Amino acid sequence: MSDSLRVQSVPASLWPAVWKLLRLRGLILLSGFRRARLKRKIGIVVLSLILLSFLGFVFFISWALLRFLRSPQLVQFAGDVTPVLESMPSLILGGAFLGILLTSFGVLLQALYLAGDMDFLLSAPLPIRAVFVTKLLQAILPNFGLICAFSLPVLFGLGASSGYNALYYPFVLLALSALTLAAAGLASLLVMAVVRVFPARRVAEVLGFVGAVASFLFSQTGQFARFGNVNQGQATLALRSLERFNNPWSPLAWAGRGLVDLGEGHWVAGFGYLTLSIGLAALIFGLALTTAERLYYTGWAGMQSIRRKKKTLKATRSTASGALGAGAARLIPPAMRAIVVKDSFVLRRDLRNMSQLVTPLILGIVYAIMFLRSGGQPPPGRGEAPAWFMEAARNLLVYGNVGISLFVGWMLIARLGGMGFSQEGRSYWLLKTAPVSAGQLLAAKFSVAFLPALALGWIFLLGITLLQRAGLSILLFTLPVVALCVAGSAGLNLAFGVVGANLDWDDPRHMQRGSSSCLGALVSILYLPLSLLLFFGPPLLFTTLGWPEPGGQLAGLLLGGAFSLTCAVLPLWLVRKRVLVLGEG
Amino acid sequence: MAISPSLIETQHLVKRYGDKIAVNDVSLKVDAGEIFGFLGPNGAGKTTTIKMIVGLLRPTSGSVQVSGFDVQAQPLLAKAASGYVPDESNLYPKLTARELLRFVGDLYGMVPQQVERRIEELLRLFDLAETGDDTIDSYSHGMKQKTALAAALVHDPRVLVLDEPTVGLDPKSARLIKDILRQMAERGAAVFLSTHILEIAERMCDRIGIINQGRLVAVGTMEDLRALGKDGAQDSLEDIFLGLTGGAEYAEIAEVLR
């Protein structure tokens, strides 16, 4: 090889190498923007402008709200809120620290161990610490940006409304950056420790599942709260409890206290708290950096040599049939049965899928409890509604169990039907090269979406009917209603799923693409009330007119059934030819 | 169904992607009991041709017959007769090898008892019996490749199409695959395989086709191909291949690296 090709310089020290890697990342970003379509470029610019306006708006609202909280009229009503306001920086910075710590774990796991460029970076003549720092910065920057977007305008608004001096503002940014780095450093230490014990990919799967379910549970438990019943004493108590976060012994409060002291001109206390806080953050980050050299490399190298722990499964033919039920298995052609059984295994075993499938269950339980708590009675309102309206609402709520069952089934179908074909991913070639017709494929995928949604819908229906002690005639009518409605929804979602199928993904959570899946969900949202109107319209009309209800139920079943079956079959018939060319894009 | 000894037959096969012609007027035949090697540089159109043969892609024009059935007109019959091993296995990661083979057996409408017997045979043959109940995502590349081959063989196809079957395999597994392909050909199956390893093509294949820039530039036995070369009987397959597909640039690259 000629001398001219010899390497000129290798960045042996940390920061030049970090700079080189960050510059490369910036270059990739810039190049991506330059090569993007004009539509996308305009979108990015517009989005940035909207974000900037939003920041300005949050700043203005915070400033106005905080001034209002200090107004003498409010002080008379709620007492002096100055201690609460002074605890806000501690609360926000503490929240930002914990938020970054929690969210960084998953992000850093992905960036430090599961990124596609790790082989390239770790085999290049670069210090491991440089790779670590670059990956760390790259991973936390989006979260940091998000935290800044929400907390900076509020903290600046507090400064403006309280008349803090100018030093307050740069130190807010400094404290936020230091705490973010400390949180990310702590999270990286945790990640490095966990990856030494468990395979990174499995940790990511479990984390995705637990994270999704936990956040969903937390968001839905708010449904049980009765905010309307909160009195003034409880509100004041809740407000005062915020002050507890401003404890001088809590390291999380030091930065916030320091900022307030600095803003109010108490220089010694302000600089003291801030030095303590920023020093501790630097210590944690330094510890992460020094440990990274050993822990990070050995953890990463371990991933290459140790294969993931084998998961040995005993799956006999009887258990495979068991997934469907032996009786049903005999009725279904072998190819269809094979696809249904295969999908049931694949969906159950991937935790990343499970988090999406558990969601309807949680929502269903939450709404079923809320429905049962209301006693099946319409809210009385102010009592001005006419009697006939209240009677009609009461009659309608007799079928409220169907609404909840369908809601649960619909959510499950949106996942199982809408992504029935997409979930095949790059393994779709196995189906495409097999002697399976488009009709069989559609029928199999329809069963995969319909059967679990029907089972779940019926379980909810039976459970609620039993708890409500509704009559047998209502149950006998609502069972086929749920089945037919779910069938129609499955047909619609599956058809739109075929049109927008995305077979090119690595993570099941990214398989949804394009507008067709949204359109499918939208159409099925429109379909459900329409079909329910056809199912329940006749029995409600019969009851109102004083005619026998079973006659109305029969008429409803005929009308709604015909509509639902049309929605189950027609869209699939329309897309059958599209199935033949799937995966040829 | 026309009576023909050819189990694979392509006629004037063309595949276009917009303005680009990936496969241009490819006509070839592979008879029963024959191993056909399909060679060509990267991007020459090998995988596209293979995908059209197994029904993964629709030709822009021309036709493909597998086991006497037109792949477009009678896809189910054509597919039932063939087995396919892609260049990247891409198997369902959350299934075990045993479950995958059972799934494929069911797709091809095999009798359950027959499927179970076949699964045991194939897992033993490919040294996967012990790991047959582990999920595929725990397998090495070679094990995945062997599982894909086992899946292609479950229904004992008359036509076997393989895209780079020996890539990433250890010498023992590569040898096993070569032996299996030879046995299948001896039992009357047609084997169509693409490879970059010219030694495999030279030693295993009864006939070889060379594709370059979408066009089939040569087809025949080793003797037929040697007749096309400069030095006749002295030419190796490598010389013939480079001569037909333009090997001058490789010499230049070697010069730069020297």
> Using a CB-CB distance cutoff of 8 angstroms, which residues of chain A are in contact with residue B76?
435-437
pLDDT digits (tens, 9 = 90+) for A166-192: 889 999 999 989 988 888 888 888 888
Distance CA B154, CA B104 (A): 7
Choice among A15-24, A348-357, A478-487, B107-116 with the minimum mean pLDDT: A348-357
Phi-psi category of B156—alpha, beta or left, where left has phi over 0 and alpha has psi -120 to 50? left
State whether A313 and B112 contact (CB < 8 Å): no
A581 contact B CB<8A = yes
Task: Give the confidence band of A535 by pLDDT, cuts at 50, 70, 90.
Answer: very high
What pLDDT is stored for residue B257 in this prediction? 53
Task: Give the confidence band of B248 by pLDDT, cuts at 50, 70, 90.
Answer: low
State whether A430 and B104 contact (CB < 8 Å): yes
Which residue out of B53, B92, B100, B123 would a mutagenesis test of the A interface target, given it has the greatest number of A Cβ atoms within 10 Å?
A: B92
Q: Nearest by CB to B58, which of A317, A339, A584? A: A584
Distance CA A233, CA A142 (A): 40
Residue A311's CB is within 10 A of a number of other CB atoms, namely: 14
What pLDDT is stored for residue A320 in this prediction? 46
Closest listed residue to residue A486, CA positions, set A386, A412, A399, A395: A412
Give ∠ CA B14-B17-B20 in degrees, rounded to 5: 85
State how far residue A191 is from chain B, nearest Cα, in angstroms. 22
A13 vs B126 pLDDT, higher one: B126
What pLDDT is stored for residue A379 in this prediction? 66
Q: What is the CA radius of gyration of chain B?
A: 19
Choice among A29-33, A310-314, B83-87, B118-122 with the minimum mean pLDDT: A310-314
Statement: residue A448 has pLDDT above 70: yes
Q: What is the arithmetic mean of pLDDT over B50-54?
A: 96
pLDDT digits (tens, 9 = 90+) for B140-180: 888 999 999 999 999 999 999 999 888 878 888 888 888 99
Give all strands of the β-sheet with B61-66 in edge-to-edge order. Answer: B20-31, B6-17, B61-66, B69-70
A415 contact B CB<8A = no
Beta partners for residue B14, in sequence order? B61
Closest listed residue to residue B163, CA positions, set B30, B48, B33: B48
Task: State the pTM of this model.
Answer: 0.75
What pLDDT is stored for residue A319 in this prediction? 44
State whether B133 and A320 contact (CB < 8 Å): no
Task: Give the confidence band of A225 by pLDDT, cuts at 50, 70, 90.
Answer: low
Express as a percent the part of chain A with pLDDT over 70. 82
> Residue for token digits 């096969």?
B13
Residue A7's CB is within 10 A of a number of other CB atoms, namely: 6
Q: What is the arithmetic mean of pLDDT over A183-209?
A: 82
Statement: residue A360 has pLDDT above 50: yes
A343 contact B CB<8A = no
Give all strands of the β-sheet with B190-194 in edge-to-edge order. Answer: B82-85, B159-163, B190-194, B35-39, B207-212, B215-220
What pLDDT is stored for residue A113 in this prediction? 78
Statement: residue B4 has pLDDT above 70: no
Hey, what are A437's tokens? 């017709």
Q: What is the arithmetic mean of pLDDT over B51-71?
A: 95
What pLDDT is stored for residue A285 in this prediction? 86
Distance CA A175, CA A171 (A): 6
What pLDDT is stored for residue B48 in this prediction? 95
Q: What is the arithmetic mean of pLDDT over A122-150?
A: 81
Distance CA A555, CA B69 (A): 50
Distance CA B242, CA A359 (A): 59
Distance CA A329, CA A344 (A): 13
Closest listed residue to residue A124, CA positions, set A235, A12, A207, A35: A12
> Using a CB-CB distance cutoff of 8 angstroms, which residues of chain B are in contact with residue A308?
137-138
Q: How far apart are the first and last CA of chain A?
A: 43
Q: What are phi and psi of B37, to 5 degrees?
A: -95, 135
Q: Nearest by CB to B109, which of A311, A335, A583? A: A335
Distances (CA, A) of A190 to A57, A104, A194, A197, B230: 37, 10, 6, 11, 66
What is the per-residue DSSP string for A356-411?
A: HHHHHHHHHHHHHHHHHHTTT----TTS-S-HHHHHHHHHHHTTHHHHHHHHHHHH
B80 contact A CB<8A = yes
Distance CA A152, CA A158 (A): 10
Nearest chain A Cα to B115, which residue? A317
Distance CA A89, CA A106 (A): 26
A349 contact B CB<8A = yes
Q: Nearest by CB to B56, which of A427, A429, A435? A: A429
Q: What is the arithmetic mean of pLDDT over B96-117?
A: 93
A226 contact B CB<8A = no
Sign of CA dihedral A84, A87, A91, A93: positive
CB B85 within 8 A of CB B147: no
Statement: residue A574 has pLDDT above 80: yes
Task: Give the confidence band of A303 by pLDDT, cuts at 50, 70, 90.
Answer: low
Hey, what are A145's tokens? 């940006």
Q: What is the arithmetic mean of pLDDT over A286-305?
A: 70
- Amino acid B145 reads Q
What pLDDT is stored for residue B250 in this prediction? 59
A240 contact B CB<8A = no
A462: part of which helix (H) or strand (E)?
helix A438-468
Distance CA A418, CA A423 (A): 9
Closest listed residue to residue A433, CA positions, set B132, B88, B50: B50
Statement: residue A384 has pLDDT above 80: no
Choice among A285-299, A374-388, A409-423, B152-166 with the minimum mean pLDDT: A374-388
Choice among A114-128, A318-332, A508-522 with the minimum mean pLDDT: A318-332
A315 contact B CB<8A = yes
> Using a CB-CB distance cutoff of 8 angstroms, which residues of chain B are in contact with residue A314?
133
Express as a percent the part of chain B with pLDDT over 90. 66
Distances (CA, A) of A22 to A35, A109, A128, A181, A259: 20, 19, 14, 16, 31
What pLDDT is stored for residue A306 in this prediction? 47
Statement: residue A461 has pLDDT above 80: yes
CB B94 within 8 A of CB A350: yes
Read off the DSSP letter of residue B36: E
Q: What is the arithmetic mean of pLDDT over A242-254?
A: 77
State how far residue A62 is from chain B, nearest Cα, in angstroms. 50
Task: Give the confidence band of A380 by pLDDT, cuts at 50, 70, 90.
Answer: low
State whether A435 and B77 contact (CB < 8 Å): yes
Task: Give the confidence band of A434 by pLDDT, cuts at 50, 70, 90.
Answer: very high
B134 contact A CB<8A = yes
3-state secondary structure of B125: helix
> Residue for token digits 């590349």?
B141
pLDDT digits (tens, 9 = 90+) for A399-412: 777 787 888 888 88
What pLDDT is stored for residue A224 in this prediction? 62
Nearest chain A Cα to B134, which residue? A312
Beta partners for residue B68, in sequence order? none
State whether A429 and B257 contact (CB < 8 Å): no
State whether A426 and B96 contact (CB < 8 Å): no
Beta partners for residue B160, in sequence order? B83, B191
ipTM: 0.89
Q: What are phi and psi of A418, to 5 degrees?
A: -60, -30
Helix and strand tally (H, E) in chain B? 10, 10
Give ∠ CA B169-A431-B6 in degrees, rounded to 5: 75
Q: What is the arithmetic mean of pLDDT over B46-67?
A: 95
Cα A379 to the center of its chain, rounded Å: 32
Please give the mean pLDDT across all residues of chain A: 81
A309 vs A575 pLDDT, higher one: A575
What pLDDT is stored for residue B253 in this prediction? 56
What pLDDT is stored for residue B49 in this prediction? 96
> Using a CB-CB distance cutoff of 8 angstroms, which residues of chain B are in contact with residue A320?
99, 102
Phi-psi category of A199—alpha, beta or left, where left has phi over 0 and alpha has psi -120 to 50? beta
Distances (CA, A) of A252 to A85, A172, A256, A258, A282: 17, 14, 8, 11, 14
Q: Nearest by CB to A429, which of B82, B86, B138? A: B86
A203 contact B CB<8A = no
A426 vs B2 pLDDT, higher one: A426
pLDDT digits (tens, 9 = 90+) for B124-133: 999 999 999 9
What pLDDT is stored for residue B29 in this prediction? 95
B134 vs A84 pLDDT, higher one: B134
Distance CA A173, CA B227 (A): 78
Hey, what are A121's tokens? 């970076």
Q: What is the arithmetic mean of pLDDT over B85-100?
A: 92
B218 contact A CB<8A = no
Closest listed residue to residue B49, CA positions, set B5, B88, B9: B9
Statement: residue A468 has pLDDT above 70: yes
What pLDDT is stored for residue B65 in this prediction? 95
B135 contact A CB<8A = yes
- Amino acid A167 reads L
Statement: residue A338 has pLDDT above 80: yes
Statement: residue A427 has pLDDT above 90: yes
